[in-house]
């Protein structure tokens, strides 16, 4: 083989490897019928092709959250086992390979689950959830990890309840949110966290009762929180400040279950309405909210993601069928076909699809 042909062959091989490693989208949830549901996660191509990950635990469980960075390194989290006796589960995803994180284990009868995960461009991951012996006795959990340092660095939250939301920027600053106490009677909780300190920095939130369900944080330090305080709520927050600024979501919003924000501080929120319909909207720190039109009437949005080009990906369910769609400002959603019966509980998108 000539030198030119060798160079061309190496270029071709490099291009093939590069293409194989790019993961434009990552989705996760569950398949099957209760109580025999199993974890489900899949990569999604820019053309909407779905490739299911085959190395997840072949047991009862679910994937509750996924995250993906621009290097196509993913992080998934959830639980294995039945709800009454469940175990933490989280893993890094690279080129469709699954690398589990060695999380704490508990005796029989404990309920442990990872509610949310985040990963930055340095492949640092942040996970949050809870563990305890019953629904009424839960302790919040949050920790940092990476593919090269899998042993978790745990945050000393010192609150009961649950961390339902985590976010992480490229300055290694994290944002966590949830509830201190029971979901219906507890206090909304949010704090900034860093891998160099086990002590969180709490944020003051308005309202005596409620919960934060989702959090997002960009590299400028602009954060976005979503949840419920008698109705759906969303707040913009900034690193270095304990003040939260409320977002006008419009009428009929029951809860905000999921939020995302890009480097331009364009946010995307999703949830449900009091009339049991899907809700998603683009939100801005200094501009009016733009609601996504023509969402399915018998649906809920469980997860949203937005990239730096302003394109979003939303997921949830539409009736008994899993639902996911790409969304753009001022346009109708573009559904992804070929999804199974069940629910998409988490989605992620990077910038390679544009």
Structure tokens at 309: 């080009």
Q: pLDDT at position 298, please?
A: 85
Q: Measured between alpha carbons, how far is 64 from 101 in angstroms, rounded to an integer? A: 15
Contacts of residue 49, Cβ cutoff 8 Å, sequence gap at least 6: none
Cβ 258 vs Cβ 302: under 8 Å: yes
Grade residue 96 by pLDDT with cuts at 50, 70 and 90.
low
Mean pLDDT of the chain: 87
Which of 84-98, 138-152, 233-247 shows the lowest mean pLDDT across its residues?
A: 84-98
Which of 21-35, 81-95, 140-154, 266-280 shows the lowest mean pLDDT across its residues?
A: 21-35
Domain range holding 116?
3-353
Q: pLDDT at position 7, please?
A: 29
Q: pLDDT at position 352, please?
A: 66
List phi, psi (to 5°) of 257: -95, -15
pLDDT mean over 83-93: 89
Q: Measured between alpha carbons, how far is 24 from 348 in angstroms, rounded to an integer? A: 8
Q: What is the dihedral of CA 18, 77, 141, 106, to 10 degrees?
A: -120
pTM of the model: 0.80
Q: pLDDT at position 217, please?
A: 95
Number of domains in the chain: 1
Q: What is the DSSP string of 189-258?
A: EEEEEETTEEEEEE---SSSS-EEEEEEE-TTSEEEEEEESSSEEEEEEETT---EEE----TTEEEEEE
245: left (phi over 0), alpha (psi -120 to 50) or beta: beta
Give the CATH number for residue 40: 2.120.10.80
* pLDDT tens digits, 148-185: 999 999 999 989 999 999 999 999 999 999 999 987 78
Q: What is the DSSP string of 145-193?
A: EETTEEEEEE-----BSEEEEEEE-TTS-EEEEEEES-TTTSEEEEEEE
| Residue 112 CA, distance from chain mean position | 18
Q: Measured between alpha carbons, how far is 216 from 234 in angstroms, rounded to an integer? A: 11
Tell me whether residue 348 is exposed, middle or buried, using C-beta atoms within 10 angstroms of its C-beta: 0 to 12, 13 to 18, 19 or more.
buried
Cβ 126 vs Cβ 166: under 8 Å: yes
Grade residue 5 by pLDDT with cuts at 50, 70 and 90.
very low
Q: Measured between alpha carbons, how far is 21 from 45 in angstroms, rounded to an integer? A: 11
* % the chain with pLDDT above 90: 59
What letters, b where the CB count within 10 A reaches 16 and e where it falls short, cover 59-75?
Answer: ebbbbbbbbbbeebbbb
Q: Is the pLDDT of residue 334 over 80?
A: yes
Q: pLDDT at position 316, please?
A: 95
Q: Is the pLDDT of residue 8 over 70?
A: no
| Residue 43 CA, distance from chain mean position | 15
Q: How far apart are the first and last CA of the chain?
A: 37
Q: Measured between alpha carbons, how far is 260 from 14 in angstroms, rounded to an integer? A: 33
Cβ 203 vs Cβ 232: under 8 Å: no
Write the DSSP symbol of residue 354. Answer: -
* pLDDT tens digits, 9-43: 322 333 333 334 567 788 888 888 777 788 888 87
* pLDDT tens digits, 188-212: 999 999 998 999 999 998 877 899 9
């Amino acid at each position: 083989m000539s030198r030119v042909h060798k160079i061309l062959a190496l270029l071709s091989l490099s291009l093939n490897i590069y293409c194989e490693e790019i993961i434009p989208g990552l989705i996760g949830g569950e398949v099957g019928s209760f109580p025999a549901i199993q974890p489900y996660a899949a990569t999604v191509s820019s053309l909407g092709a779905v490739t299911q990950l085959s190395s997840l635990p072949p047991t009862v469980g679910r994937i509750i959250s996924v995250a993906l960075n621009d290097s196509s390194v993913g992080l998934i989290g959830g639980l294995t086992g039945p709800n009454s006796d469940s175990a933490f589960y989280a893993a890094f995803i690279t080129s469709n390979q699954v690398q589990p994180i060695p999380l704490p284990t508990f005796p029989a009868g404990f309920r442990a689950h990872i509610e949310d995960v985040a990963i930055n461009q340095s492949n640092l991951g942040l996970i949050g959830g809870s563990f305890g012996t019953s629904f009424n006795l839960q302790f919040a959990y949050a920790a940092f990890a990476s593919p090269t340092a899998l042993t978790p660095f745990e945050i000393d939250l010192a609150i009961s309840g649950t961390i339902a939301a985590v976010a992480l920027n490229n300055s290694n600053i994290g944002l966590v949110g949830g509830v201190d106490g029971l979901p219906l009677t507890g206090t909304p909780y949010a704090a900034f966290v860093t891998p160099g300190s086990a002590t969180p920095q709490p944020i003051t939130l308005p309202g005596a009762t409620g919960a934060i369900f989702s959090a997002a944080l960009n590299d400028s330090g602009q954060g976005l929180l979503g949840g419920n305080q008698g109705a759906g709520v969303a707040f913009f927050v900034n690193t270095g400040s304990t003040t939260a600024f409320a977002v006008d979501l419009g009428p009929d919003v029951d809860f905000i279950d999921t939020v995302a924000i890009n480097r331009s501080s364009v946010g995307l929120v999703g949830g449900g309405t009091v009339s049991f319909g899907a809700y998603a909207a683009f939100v801005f720190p200094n501009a009016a909210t733009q609601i996504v039109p023509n969402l399915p009437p018998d649906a809920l949005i469980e997860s949203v993601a937005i990239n730096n080009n302003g394109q979003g990906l939303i997921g949830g369910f539409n009736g008994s069928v899993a639902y996911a769609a790409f969304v753009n400002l001022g346009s109708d959603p573009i559904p992804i076909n070929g999804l199974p019966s069940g629910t998409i509980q988490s989605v992620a998108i990077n910038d390679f699809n544009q």
